[in-house]
Amino acid sequence: MAIAAVGIALSQWTHNPVWDGVASVLMGLVLAAVAILLCIEAKGLLIGESADVDMVEALRLSAASHAGVTKVHEVLTVHHAPDQIVSVISADFDDDISAADVERIIRDIEAKVAKEFPVVTRLYVRPMSA
């Protein structure tokens, strides 16, 4: 808007229509730059952009902090929207605990992540042996 106003003002003041044309070209370049930025952001959301490294590491530490989890192998994340993340955590559990204990630990992990990271709308914890 300011570009157009300046272009029209200069065109009127100097009686030279070139300034109006220059302003139109500059406005076109600004619109093209905004369109490119929007395309880049939309592409990331459409094909599934992963969460940032800090979020992935925080999810890894959250899962690893539970008794009975011996190792966290993978933490996969994907954005479904700017404020919705789906995550899959592959974890190795202590071989000496029962399946019921593994289920309880998984519920505890899911509850802790839901409380600490409301942006994670779905969490799947996959037991995986080393």
pTM of the model: 0.65
Q: What is the pLDDT of residue 60?
A: 93
Do 78 and 33 fall into the same domain? Answer: no
Cβ within 8 Å of residue 7, ≥6 positions away: 19, 20, 21, 22, 23, 24, 26
DSSP-derived secondary structure letter, 97? S
**Percentage of the residues of the chain whose pLDDT score is greater than 70:** 98
Do 74 and 94 fall into the same domain? Answer: yes
Do 76 and 101 fall into the same domain? Answer: yes
Q: Compute the average pLDDT of residues 30-43.
A: 89
Last residue of a domain, one of 30, 46, 62: 46
Do 121 and 79 fall into the same domain? Answer: yes
Q: Which domain holds residue 36?
A: 2-46
Rounded distance between C-alpha atoms, residue 30 and residue 55, angstroms = 33
- Per-residue pLDDT reduced to its tens digit, 41-98: 787 767 777 888 999 999 999 999 999 999 999 999 998 877 889 999 999 999 899 9
